[in-house]
């Protein structure tokens, strides 16, 4: 079977089919147009530039197309990129269905669904349980296929469900360690907290913000879904437990500056925010560090206040759990 | 007929019925309890302190009670207060219905209703028009009796409707002066923008935040009402016009730091925010300046970044419109 | 008569005389120089790039020159630009006077002057009236020809007077709606608030900041003019009314961070600041939205915290005043 | 056996021995002195005021003394306090050793020591292991008896060790869930991160900052201890693993504004900061919520941006782990 | 001769004449009025409280009066205060002229004048020299008697001139050490930078902000004086050297947030700001540290970001210049 | 002897040997690589670009190499640069030792050492004196050859010692002017404050941050050196005088945001911070202004909040000390 993109080494010649993740037309300082591409397969994504792009090329090479690429992997500002020798559209025979080229969460959709179901089972408050079940069903396909964000963290197919599941697992340990925490509320909030992204974002391929996403935002969009669920399930939304659940979602960005209309006023709401940040940070940091050699700093991470992270030189063998 | 509270002058003896707007129990530095009262009638409100308060007094003198007060108006830190000589509960015969003692907006409820109706008439988009009509009907009584805020600006009975109407009048002029503005959208947004306060606050007497008000906030509470109205009126809420209306309300605090989950992204949404601030500021500043003499600075206004405002000494006769 | 710049459509060939608004020499990444031009006529301005510029071309094509341009209108990052085919200096016979190519405020200079005069008439305090009249006379030509800013808002010929007039019109309505406002003070402050820009900026063509503008700033420059006017008119500047007028100008940026040496401490000073911001915002937002199609977001506006504004798709017909 | 302080209910008469946690002399507005006391036993601490305090009383009732107290528990601003009827120093026979009155961490010192030892066992890097072991031994007594902070979170005897242990337990789960994390580094950093507080603070009774604590701070004080340990253990401190360990401690406040001289630049350093915050927050929030009734908001928490947290009214029975 | 206020020690009985620096009427929590006094003589100032103040006492004991005081020096929150036993107005015979009780700068007015003159002599640019000479003459009496601020730093008689002189002395050394600095400009800016305080403040006794001071501010007030001086001296104020001098004054607060309408854009303007801050800081810190014992921290200094400063215990003998 | 780099004028042809200070590989918008060079000799440094760089050229032209350059000095964005005609490596015969091409502090190393020694002589506290002497000896070579920063201020060979000496000279005057300052402490702090840069930075040629420098920072690195010195010199580091000295260094960045783990709490610590900033600012500003013509603004200075500084047009002859 063919090698994947990230299995090539620096300086090595490349020849493989890749999906165009994004394609921006820019004008070079010599007055000619070029296409700034991001190309991907399931192993990750890498930038490439198509210089002196003709109008035909611009028409042809759009986000969502699968292309057959020849080139060389090289380093630019310490980050890998593809120097293009040639490129053409892949044919149907070669396999040009975008879904086979998406980066994917590290667990299978079916496994994740099963795991999340077992967490739903532990939501003991009946109103929370019914609302969560209904919204999981309503948004099932998008929830298990969308990324958790346009870029930043978990920006891959299934990333939304995987990020949700990671938070649930952390939440379970927190519930065991601090017995006064209402675990049912924490689970219900965790499952719904980012589900509005299925409306805010355009989908798993060539992800963009929708107009509704820009003007309303995923926090209020999922709040709307909870209200609609209450009406359909004949749950009185003025009851305290529904108000608490809505508060969990509304407050989960932690600070007003980050787009939450209210700050966390329940211990569980603050904890959901903290676990959300923790999981997103770990995802961003470990991904970045994995892309550099020992003794090097990663690229600057926009989502981590533009910091670089260091990969130690001499102690990799100690990484991992103490059992290793 | 009896004099009102603000018709007494400094040093003058006072004897009149007043409503207890708020009553906080505190412990004096000599170890005894006292009640920090705010007393009001339709002319305004003033603080007073009942020293060495017995348990019976604490039980009796609560927010919402009408009391018969004897004392003297005096100045404390340049602000008027009542030095109490004596106080007792008013009897039913004397008239102890709180509603006759509330400060009120300067226009009558019926007049305001009529004026607002004529603005509704000018909302030409049918979805916006129907949603606004329905919510005005649903929240009619609270909308025309609640204050616009717990303290700060328009904190009086009918203040919510009066503040809304003031914004509509400014909006009309803006619409005439800048022809590209969508006036229908501006009117619909203005009428609904603070209507969630009828759920966020407890009512016109002894106004407090409700638990739901604290945990959800008036911005999302009125968004919920719009969604419910759409369902009942069978309006598809994914249509652009409904999204635009919701955006008007969600963005009206202008900045994320002030509790809007999204920033204004329509000219009309930015203008609604600006007019909301302008009307609230003018209300706070002119009220504060009216309470001091010429040549003096007002007390510091919390809602205006703690600034003091100056009342000129020599040029009062020029105030007001150029026709004077 | 010839078509104007903004009457051409995307993809259409262009041939017309244009004024060079600015011309920056830059070095392309191929090591050769190019000129980044902004070209304008009365319909607006658009960028263009002259590649591989010779020293002769650099010498010739400077801000303030009128050139004869051949090219094509195209889109770059969703904004229109001119792709140049050829360019030469216009001859005197063809008409190369810059003044015929300046974007202009939407009202005629004479009409604006008449309108502003009628506002001056309503300034009832004699000192304010005399100071305003004198400074309007002293700075007459610049006041009616300068832009209100180098870029951002009202950056066109006559923009300063038009911005001033817009504020006066808003001020009139505010004065009618809130009777305690001193309208004379508001008018006087509005007329003078930005008049220092006639000294801070270099003029209506190729507008730059002067050295004095950078080191002193337009707020203090007009304060100087008020002092000089008092001396000449034998008005005692320690009188309260002169202090109030100076405060109006000094405080009109609202916050110290925006360059006001004192914060507004008069209701009228706060209102002037608010109306100044409101008019500038509406100008920036409506101009930006007018340049994009329905269903699109505008470019990011530096003067509006880098936000983009949305132009609705389906409801243009409702725009404008309710009479439509 | 006698009742503890927090076993009395509001309005109930109190008679029991208590430790003076702090005693501030203040002057009442009637000109007389009073002592603002905080009294405690192992169940928690509560304020009380001794009015009209004589010089003898001031001399006698100091922080660290055990007193015999008669009074009544009552509410002030929704928080419990003791209204004093009488107070005298406890005799040696009654038991006046402060250590029997300190609030204590919820686990026994010996158990905590055993648990922490098992984490040390899992630190696989020999340098980190030896440094941690040595410093744990050097600071053994203080480490297991000091609070984690003067006030805010874990401000009780043994709080420092308990807070450390809570972070280690969270760290274990994070290590299991994210396999690329270096758990040895995370454990070593967690154990040392706040150990400098044994030098920064004065001790478990009447905790104050030392002069050295104020001028150097606990972050640099423990860094000094690491350097001294390296010298004694003949470990070359320029080796990468020692630099990494020092970075873990130096960066653990997360932001420069919070007193870290460098920001986290290792994933493990960021995670240590996040878990530190998470454990401290949960401790503060759950303690505050436990002190109020259902349906009430807690007092404002200084360490949580002055927020109040809500204790739900109707759903206590759901609290705790899903097994309940 | 009688002892001065700060020559008494804690616990010692006091009997001496003092000037009332300020007298605020407050209401005690027992409902009675008291006067919060600040009393001073040339050795410094100390607070005292007159409890249960009658209307006659309030009328009598105002800022600016000299009183004969009996009491005791004691400590309150680590700061000294006077516990009053008795107080009466001083008679003319006893000496009740406020000027003999003002704290004064450590150098004599005549000496300071001479020193400042010698700096004026070194201002080589004729325009700067003439403007400085004229304004020093115009504001002579106030300049040499006013404090440099209402409170904070150099808040004593002659403080303005002494602060100015201290900056000039620092400026001289800077000029010698960095030869590219224009010393003439630095001297001229230093002498004028705070001269506007002679208009902004009410005077050396019971110093308050004037209305003009509040609404215009001392920065713009001295700018006005420069303009008036230019007119009188027939200096063209559009010349570069005058613009530079005005910039020095306008920019001397360093940041817009601190009230400068423009930021420093000349090296000399930045240096003036830095030396101004340096001298004010040293004055505040050394004054505060001088009031506490070795081994103690000072009170918190509002003008130094609320920090406390430490007075070392064991090394006083090393203080001062290396010659000691 | 050959001309130096900054002795060539704009437009003049250049031919001379230069040191490559830095060499960044970038990709031009035409897809080809170029090298962005900074070239220097003792007169200063200037940028140049080598277009269409071959792999051999990239291999050859690295930071630290001496090259023989032919080209032309020209202006780009008002700043000088070299337009390259040709470039080759210098031979050993031509002199290719980097040390002869480094910009150097304006005083000789030996003179600076002597001057600093005389300041050490005036440190009267024996512990401070011994620690300073030992660390000066330990870091002697680096201290007198390193720059004070990677870029920003004093970024030249010997810059660290020169910056230190400039602060000492300012400190001497401050000590003379304010007699309560402990000059010994100020001198000791000044000499050590930036000495950690000898570990934080890689050296005088092609200066970079070391990994240890990034992860620990120069403030904590010199604190470590003080601790090691105490151990070696058998000084008890818990003594107050050692704590004070460490505080001087730890607090010298002034604000936590700037990387100090504690804020200055000694007058001497605040003064050291202020003098550090003052000397760095003057160095940056005067260097920038020296590079432009009269009547021009300098480039924007990153280290001065991105401000530009103005070089006056008409008054250069007045610059310098008043004796001129």
Q: Does D301 have pLDDT greater than 60?
A: yes
Predicted pLDDT of residue F69: 92
pLDDT digits (tens, 9 = 90+) for E8-63: 887 889 998 999 988 888 877 666 788 989 898 888 788 899 988 888 888 889 88
- Alpha carbons C4 and A137: distance in angstroms, whole number: 57
Other Cβ atoms within 10 Å of B38 Cβ, number: 18
Listed in sequence order, the DSSP H helices in C68-181 are: 109-121, 126-138, 140-145, 159-177
Q: Domain residue spans in chain D?
A: 5-101, 109-283
Cβ contact (<8 Å) for D214 and F258? Answer: no
**Cβ separation D30–B30 shorter than 8 A:** yes
For residue B312, what pLDDT is reported? 94
Residue predicted with more confidence, A134 or E321: A134
E312 in reach of chain D (CB within 8 A): no
CA distance E286 to F180: 7
pLDDT at D146: 93
Do the Cβ atoms of A28 and F30 come within 8 Å? yes
> What is the per-residue pLDDT across D137-185, written as a single tens digit (0 to 9) for each?
999 999 999 998 887 778 788 899 999 999 999 999 999 999 899 999 9
Q: Do chains F and D touch (3 or more CB pairs under 8 A)?
A: yes
Does residue F318 register a pLDDT over 70?
A: no
pLDDT value for A92: 85
The answer to whether the CB atoms of D285 and A267 lie below 8 A apart is yes
- Main-chain phi, psi angles of D35, to 5 degrees: -110, 120
Angle at F322 between CA F320 and CA F324, to 5 degrees: 70
Q: State both tokens at C195.
A: 């008049």
Q: Which residue of D has its CA nearest to A125?
A: D318
**How many whole angstroms separate alpha carbon E155 and alpha carbon E148?**
6
More confident residue, E143 or B59: E143
Instruction: Say what the pLDDT of residue C323 is.
Output: 33
- Cβ–Cβ < 8 Å for B171, B186: yes
> Does residue A170 register a pLDDT over 90?
yes
**Would you tell me how many other CB atoms lie within 10 Å of the CB of residue E61?**
19
Element (H, E) at C97: none
Task: Give the residue among E316, B273, F321 at the shortest CA–CA distance from C285.
Answer: B273
Q: Is the pLDDT of residue E239 over 80?
A: yes
Is B306's Cβ below 8 Å from some Cβ in C?
no
Predicted local distance difference test score (pLDDT) of residue B251: 97
Query: Residue E115 corresponds to which tokens in the numbers above?
Result: 């020193």
Question: Which tokens sit at A133?
Answer: 């079940």
In chain B, residues with a C-beta closer than 8 Å to the C-beta of E27 are 76
State yes or no: pLDDT of C153 exceeds 90.
no
Question: What distance in Å separates residue F29's CA from the closest CA in chain A?
Answer: 5
CB neighbour list of residue C160: distance below 8 Å, 6 or more residues apart: C143, C144, C146, C147, C148, C154, C194, C195, C197, C198
Across the range D213-241, mean pLDDT stands at 96
Region for residue E95 given its phi and psi (left: phi exceeds 0; alpha: psi -120 to 50; beta: otherwise): left
Let me know: does D73 contact D9? Beta carbons within 8 Å: yes
Architecture per CATH, domain A5-101, reads as Beta Barrel (2.40)
Q: Are C19 and C98 in contact (CB under 8 A)?
A: yes
Residue E26 pLDDT? 80
Which has the higher per-residue pLDDT, F129 or B320? F129
Q: Choose from A43-52, B106-115, C131-140, D307-316 the range with maximum mean pLDDT.
A: C131-140
Where does the pLDDT of residue E322 fall: very low under 50, low under 70, confident under 90, or very high at 90 and above? very low
Residue D211 has pLDDT above 90, yes or no: yes
Q: In a 10 Å sphere around its CB, with 0-12 CB exposed, 13-18 middle and 19+ buried, how is residue B202 labelled?
A: middle
Lowest mean pLDDT among B13-27, B187-201, D187-201, E166-180: B13-27
Task: Classify the phi-psi angles of A53: left when phi > 0, otherwise alpha if psi is within -120 to 50, otherwise beta.
Answer: beta
Give φ, ψ of A63 to 5 degrees. -55, 135
Contact F274, E281 (CB under 8 A): yes
**Phi/psi of residue D204, each to 5°?**
-75, -25
- Indicate whether A101 pLDDT > 90: no
The pLDDT value given to residue B104 = 79
Mutation target to probe the B interface, by most B beta carbons within 10 A, among C124, C241, C321, C323 is C321
| Chain D contact probe: residue of E26, E50, E77, E86 with most D CBs at under 10 A | E77
pLDDT at B322: 35
Alpha carbon of residue A207 to chain centroid:
10
Query: Mean pLDDT score of chain C, rounded to an integer?
Result: 89
Say how far residue E126 (Cα) sits from the centre of its chain: 30
Question: Which residues fall within 8 angstroms of residue E235, CB to CB, at 6 or more apart?
Answer: E127, E130, E131, E229, E242
Is it the case that residue A41 has pLDDT exceeding 70? yes
| pLDDT confidence of residue D31 | 66
| Separation CA B40–CA B45 (nearest Å) | 4
- Residue range C18-29, pLDDT digits in tens: 999 888 888 776
Any chain F CB within 8 A of the CB of C315?
no
CA distance, residue F48 to nearest chain C CA (Å):
10
Measured in whole angstroms, the distance separating CA D305 from the mean position of its chain's CA atoms is: 18
* Chain A CA closest to residue B259: A261
Q: For B237-266, how does the pLDDT look when each residue is reduced to its tens digit (9 = 90+)?
A: 999 999 999 999 999 999 999 999 999 999
Q: Quick check: B310 and E31 CB within 8 A?
A: no
Give how far B30 is from chain D: nearest CA, Å: 7
Q: Do D173 and A178 touch (CB under 8 A)?
A: no
> In this model, does residue C144 exceed pLDDT 90?
yes
The proportion of chain E whose per-residue pLDDT surpasses 90, expressed as a percent, equals 56
Whether residue C10 lies within 8 A of chain A, CB to CB, comes out as no
CA nearest to E237 within chain C: C224
Burial class (CB in 10 A: 0-12, 13-18, 19+), D66: buried
Q: What is the mean pLDDT of chain D?
A: 89
Residues of chain B positioned with their CB less than 8 A from the CB of E53 = none
F320 pLDDT band, cuts 50/70/90, is very low
**Is F322's pLDDT higher than 50?**
no
- Which pLDDT score, from 0 to 100, does residue E324 have? 31
List CB contacts of B307: < 8 A, sequence separation 6 or more.
B300, B301, C263, C264, C265
What is d(CA F160, CA F142) in angstroms, rounded to the nearest whole number?
Answer: 9
Q: Is B314 on the interface with E (CB under 8 A)?
A: no
Q: What is the pLDDT of residue B318?
A: 36
In chain A, the DSSP E strands lie at 13-27, 33-41, 44-50, 66-76, 79-89, 296-297, 310-311
Chain A touched by B239 (CB under 8 Å): no
Is the Cβ pair A211, C295 closer than 8 Å?
A: yes
Give the residue from F141, F137, F146 showing the smallest Cα distance to F164: F146
- D16 contact F CB<8A: no
F295–C contact, CB cutoff 8 A: yes
Touching status, chains C and E (3+ beta-carbon pairs under 8 Å): yes
pLDDT band of A106, cuts 50, 70, 90 = confident
pLDDT score recorded for residue C63: 87
Q: How far is CA B77 from the centre of its chain?
A: 25
> Which residues fall within 8 angstroms of residue A274, CB to CB, at 6 or more apart?
A254, D274, D277, D278, D281
HEC readout, B41-81: ECCEEEEEEECCCCHHHHHHCCCCCEEEEEEEEEEECCEEE
How far is A160 from A153, CA to CA, in rounded Å? Answer: 10
* Confidence category of residue C206, pLDDT binned at 50, 70, 90: confident
Which tens digit of pLDDT belongs to each residue from F277-299? 999 999 999 988 987 888 989 88
Chains that touch A (3 or more CB pairs under 8 A): B, C, D, F
- Asked if chain B contacts chain F via 3 or more Cβ pairs within 8 Å, the reply is no
From the list C29, C34, C310, the residue facing A211 with the nearest CB is: C310
Query: Which of C269, C304, C306, C312 should we substitute to test contact with B (largest number of B Cβ atoms within 10 Å)?
Result: C312
pLDDT of E323 above 70 = no
Is the pLDDT at B300 greater than 90, yes or no?
no
In this prediction, residues E181-208 reach a mean pLDDT of: 93
Residue E127: pLDDT band (50, 70, 90) is very high
pLDDT band for F31, please (50, 70, 90 cuts): low
3-state secondary structure labels for all residues of F126-175: HHHHHHHHHHHHHCHHHHHHCCCCCCCCCCCECHHHHHHHHHHHHHHHHH
pLDDT mean over C163-188: 96
Q: Does A11 touch chain C (CB under 8 A)?
A: no
B318–chain C Cβ distance below 8 A for any pair? yes
Quick check: E258 pLDDT over 70? Answer: yes
Task: Evaluate if residue A126 carries a pLDDT over 90.
Answer: yes
pLDDT recorded at residue E100: 83
State the fold for domain A109-283.
Answer: Hypothetical protein af1432 (1.10.3210)
What does the pLDDT look like over E212-238, one tens digit per residue? 999 999 999 999 999 999 999 999 999
Residue of F nearest to E262 (CA): F307
pLDDT band at residue F321 using 50, 70 and 90 as cut-offs:
very low
B30 pLDDT band, cuts 50/70/90, is low
Cβ-based neighbours of D26, under 8 Å, separated by 6 or more: D33, D34, D35, D36
b/e map of E126-139 (b: 16 or more CB within 10 Å)?
ebbbbbbbbbbebb
**pTM metric for this prediction:** 0.86
SS3 for F237?
A: coil
Position C83 pLDDT exceeds 80 = yes
What pLDDT does F170 receive?
97
The share of chain C scoring above pLDDT 90, in percent, equals 56
Touch of C by D (3+ CB pairs closer than 8 Å): no
Q: For residue E317, give the chain F residue with the closest CA.
A: F182
**Which residues of chain E make contact with B297, given a CB cutoff of 8 A?**
214
Taking CA–CA distances from F296, the nearest residue in chain C reads C211
Chains with ≥3 CB–CB distances under 8 Å to E: B, C, D, F
From chain B residues 121-150, the ones with a CB under 8 A of any chain C CB are 122-125
C137 Cα distance to chain centroid = 20
Per-residue confidence (pLDDT) for residue E135, from 0 to 100: 98
pLDDT digits (tens, 9 = 90+) for A24-40: 888 776 667 889 898 98
Q: Do the Cβ atoms of B89 and B16 come closer than 8 Å?
A: no
Question: What whole-number distance in Å separates Cα of residue D189 and Cα of residue D254?
Answer: 13
Report residue A77's pLDDT band, with 50, 70 and 90 as the boundaries.
low
| pLDDT reported for residue D154 | 81
User: Do chains A and E touch by CB distance (3+ pairs < 8 Å)?
Assistant: no
Mutation choice for D interface testing from A132, A189, A292, A318 by most D CBs within 10 A: A318
Q: Which of D313, D315, D321 sits opposite A179 (nearest CB)?
A: D321
* Minimal Cβ distance to B179: which of C183, C315, C321: C321
Section C190-210 average pLDDT: 91
Q: pLDDT tens digits, residue range D82-126? A: 999 989 998 888 888 887 888 788 888 899 999 999 999 999 999
């Amino acid at each position: 079977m063919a090698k994947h993109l990230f299995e090539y080494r620096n300086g090595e010649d490349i020849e493989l089919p890749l999906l165009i993740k994004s394609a921006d037309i820019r004008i070079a300082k010599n007055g000619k147009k070029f296409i700034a591409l991001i190309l991907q397969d399931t192993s990750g994504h890498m930038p490439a530039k198509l210089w002196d792009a003709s109008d035909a090329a611009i028409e042809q090479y759009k986000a969502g197309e699968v292309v057959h690429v020849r080139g060389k992997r090289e380093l630019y500002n310490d980050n890998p990129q593809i120097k293009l020798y040639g490129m053409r559209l892949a044919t149907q025979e070669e396999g040009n269905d975008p879904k086979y080229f998406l980066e994917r969460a590290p667990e299978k959709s079916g496994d994740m669904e099963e795991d999340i179901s077992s967490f739903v089972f532990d939501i003991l408050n009946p109103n929370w349980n019914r609302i969560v079940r209904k919204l999981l069903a309503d948004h099932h396909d998008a929830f298990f296929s969308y990324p958790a964000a346009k870029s930043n963290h978990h920006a891959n197919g299934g990333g939304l469900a995987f990020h949700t599941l990671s938070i649930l697992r952390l939440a379970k340990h927190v519930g065991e360690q601090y017995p006064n925490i209402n675990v049912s509320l924490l689970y219900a909030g965790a499952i719904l907290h980012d589900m509005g992204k299925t409306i805010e974002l355009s989908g798993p391929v060539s992800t963009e913000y929708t107009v509704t996403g820009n003007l309303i935002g995923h926090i209020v969009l999922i709040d709307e879904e909870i209200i609609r669920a209450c009406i359909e399930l004949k749950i009185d939304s003025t009851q305290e437990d529904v108000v608490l659940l809505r508060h969990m979602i509304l407050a989960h960005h932690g600070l007003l500056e980050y787009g939450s209309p209210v700050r966390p006023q329940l211990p569980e709401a603050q904890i959901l925010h903290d676990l959300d940040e923790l999981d997103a940070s770990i995802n961003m940091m470990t991904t970045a560090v994995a892309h550099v050699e020992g003794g090097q700093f990663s690229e600057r991470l926009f989502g981590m206040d533009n910091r670089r992270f260091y990969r130690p030189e001499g102690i990799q063998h100690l990484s991992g759990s103490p059992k290793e």
